[in-house]
């Protein structure tokens, strides 16, 4: 038995490490001109992320950049500007390069009509004509906004993966987060995806929501298993009401404690691993036949803004409002404000707002953090060989900090590797934080990051 109360001390603000340096370090020192140069100089296959930001109403737990609307003309206008952005990209990027990944995120991509989605997909294929045969083409879906016509368009457009937002099936929890979605509604949407030949179906769950208990979440897990997804993402609710106004509608006294959350996470891991899934990285699970499972077996799993992926080493291009792109040595983010996004495109400029160029230290630390986040182990000789460093000397202070975790049995450190224990996986964000050279800038991290537990 794990004493979860003992680990409450690790509940502190910290990044999720979908990037390193994290998005909070992005700034305007990385100029537009430098970004354009970087965009055209990466000799890698392409990964495309499209942000489709619209939702009809707010889900109070959501931390995404969302625009709430019921107006059709807003969506049409956005498509026009997406097309302007694609036309401009052709000037600075070799769009004939191979595309290995495409992802529609949001918002609610299927809040766009099937004909609107068809128009967007057609323009993407016209702009980027060379999708590889094994390209991973995926879309996030809210089951409440899905029709047969949507699935027809996605299947015809080459989409082979879909991800359904569920979060929790408990009616009381759903009421508290303003997202009423029945099991039957979700099953109907997943059956539709299967009917149209989607190779991989993912379900998103969240633990740490109002009124959740271990017993209530057990029921959600049992219902989720009946849907037989290929992958699952089980996220720790990030409560950041100072950043997201809708989160202020959540009564904080109804949120489970850190020890309750750890108990829920531990049960979730045990539940899925005993039912044929393997834990992938910090918050994902996959069946043995899934690509993610195969990637972790080979130690080739990667982490980026879309979560865990097998398509590491590609040049990620962020398209649309607030999208983030990632090159070998940079991150770049588009404007979050719709007016500024449109203004840039009207002026014939890509809607780039800010980013960061990685120095050598950033790249070394990124490699260490991402490897531990993805595969729960790190080969020290591999890092030494890749970056020509003496790991023990370079990370003397960090290895000293890890000794506390080693005493607790959360990590094991030898001259050749760092391995995270099964219990340590519950606290992986804490374990990698010593390698983050920027944490000292943020003091205790309050009003910056969500809590790790």
Domains of the chain by range and CATH? 21-319 (3.80.30.20), 359-440 (1.10.10.920)
State both tokens at 405: 């975790």
Q: Is the pLDDT assigned to residue 444 strictly greater than 70?
A: no
Q: Is the pLDDT assigned to residue 3 strictly greater than 70?
A: no
Q: Is the pLDDT assigned to residue 445 strictly greater than 60?
A: no
What pLDDT is attached to residue 436?
Answer: 95
Q: Is the pLDDT assigned to residue 408 strictly greater than 60?
A: yes
50/68: higher pLDDT: 50
The answer to whether 140 touches 172, Cβ cutoff 8 Å, is: no
410/449: higher pLDDT: 410
Mean pLDDT of the chain: 92
The answer to whether 32 touches 330, Cβ cutoff 8 Å, is: no
Three-state secondary-structure class, residue 253: helix
Q: Is the pLDDT assigned to residue 305 strictly greater than 80?
A: no
What pLDDT is attached to residue 322?
Answer: 96
What pLDDT is attached to residue 12?
Answer: 80
State both tokens at 147: 């029709």
CA distance 317 to 102: 10
pLDDT band with cut points at 50, 70 and 90 for residue 38: very high
CA 84-87-89 angle, to 5 degrees, is 110
Please confirm whether the linkage preceding 107 is cis (ω < 30° from 0).
yes
Selection from 408, 396, 392 nearest residue 434 by Cα:
396
Q: Is the pLDDT assigned to residue 447 strictly greater than 90?
A: no
137/278: higher pLDDT: 137
State how far the alpha carbon of 212 is from the alpha carbons of 10, 170, 267, 351, 433, in Å: 21, 8, 14, 40, 28
pLDDT band with cut points at 50, 70 and 90 for residue 448: low
């Amino acid at each position: 038995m794990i004493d979860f109360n003992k680990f409450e001390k690790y509940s502190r603000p910290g990044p999720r490490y979908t990037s390193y340096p994290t998005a909070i370090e992005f700034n305007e020192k990385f100029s537009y001109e430098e970004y354009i140069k970087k965009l055209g100089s990466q000799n890698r296959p392409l990964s495309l992320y499209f942000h489709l930001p619209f939702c009809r109403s707010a889900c109070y737990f959501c931390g995404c950049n969302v625009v709430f609307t019921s107006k059709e003309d807003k969506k049409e206008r956005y498509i026009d500007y997406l097309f302007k952005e694609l036309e401009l990209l052709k000037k600075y990027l070799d769009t004939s390069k191979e595309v290995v990944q495409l992802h529609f995120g949001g918002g609610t991509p299927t809040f766009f009509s099937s004909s609107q989605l068809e128009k967007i997909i057609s323009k993407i294929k016209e702009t980027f004509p060379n999708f590889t045969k094994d390209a991973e083409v995926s879309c996030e879906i809210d089951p409440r906004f899905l029709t047969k016509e949507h699935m027809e368009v996605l299947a015809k457009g080459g989409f082979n993966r879909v991800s359904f937002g569920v979060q929790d099936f408990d009616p009381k929890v759903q009421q508290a987060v303003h997202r009423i979605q029945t099991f039957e509604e979700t099953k109907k949407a997943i059956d539709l995806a299967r009917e149209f030949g989607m190779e991989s179906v993912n379900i998103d769950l969240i633990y740490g929501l109002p009124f959740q208990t271990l017993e209530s979440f057990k029921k959600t897990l049992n219902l989720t298993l009946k849907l037989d997804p290929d992958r699952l993402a089980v996220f720790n609710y990030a409560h950041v009401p100072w950043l997201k106004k809708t989160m202020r509608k959540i009564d904080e006294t109804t949120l489970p404690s850190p020890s309750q959350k750890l108990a829920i996470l531990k049960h979730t891991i045990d539940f899925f691993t005993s039912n044929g899934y393997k834990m992938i990285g910090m918050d994902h699970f996959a069946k043995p036949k899934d690509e993610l499972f195969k990637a972790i077996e080979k130690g080739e799993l990667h982490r980026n803004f879309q979560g865990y992926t097998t398509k590491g080493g590609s040049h990620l291009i962020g398209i649309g409002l607030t999208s983030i792109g990632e090159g070998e040595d940079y991150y770049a983010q588009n404007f979050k404000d719709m007016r500024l996004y449109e203004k840039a495109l009207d002026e014939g400029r890509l809607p780039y707002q800010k980013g960061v160029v990685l120095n050598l230290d950033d790249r070394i630390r990124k490699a260490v953090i991402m490897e531990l986040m993805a595969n729960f182990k790190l080969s020290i000789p591999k890092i030494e060989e890749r970056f020509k460093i003496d790991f023990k000397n370079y990370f003397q202070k960090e290895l000293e900090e890890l000794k506390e975790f080693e005493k607790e049995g959360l990590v094991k450190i030898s001259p050749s590797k760092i391995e995270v224990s099964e219990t340590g996986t519950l606290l992986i964000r804490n374990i990698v934080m010593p390698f983050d050279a920027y944490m000292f800038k943020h003091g205790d991290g309050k009003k910056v990051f969500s809590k790790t537990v």
